[in-house]
Amino acid sequence: MVEYLIASGVGLMTAAGVFLILRRHTFPVILGLALLSYAVNLFIFAMGRPVAGRAPILREGVPTTLEHYTDPLPQALVLTAIVISFAMTAVLIVMALKLREVSGGDHVDGGDPSGDRPTDDDDGPKRGAP
């Protein structure tokens, strides 16, 4: 039952992250990247098969088999990934704030800050023109 809950959580965070990455403004894109990194962290942590009551370090008097321990590598990888993703999120937020200051908007592709479609006075090809 817990496996289905974790798998559902990973799936929902991935779907929400991809949805937010496809937005037109920078802040939802940053949130989407953060959600994707959380989904990957949860996936890696779940693949390590954490078990309650089992230590990730060796103890005296306990046999050195995986029956008595949990794998510490996924836990170490997730802790490292959390620190890296937090730092990258901070860097992206600072860059987004600078972009907003310089360009006057937070549109991802530098287009119209209002988010509307391009107007007819752009240099693109006109429909029905000879």
The packing angle between helices 72-103 and 26-47, to 10°, is 180
Structural domain of residue 42, as residue ranges?
Answer: 2-52+69-103
60 within domain boundaries: no
117 within domain boundaries: no
Quick check: 122 pLDDT over 70?
no
Give residue 11's Cα distance to chain centre: 12
119 within domain boundaries: no
Q: What is the pLDDT of residues 62-113, one digit of tens each?
A: 777 767 777 778 888 899 999 999 999 999 999 989 888 888 877 777 665 5
61 within domain boundaries: no
What percentage of the chain's residues is helix, strand, coil (to nearest 5)? Answer: 55, 5, 40
47 within domain boundaries: yes
43 within domain boundaries: yes
Q: What is the pLDDT of residues 21-61, one digit of tens each?
A: 999 888 899 999 999 999 999 998 888 776 666 666 777 88
* pLDDT value of residue 110: 64
* Rounded average pLDDT over 119-128: 51
More confident residue, 16 or 25: 16
Domain count, the chain: 1
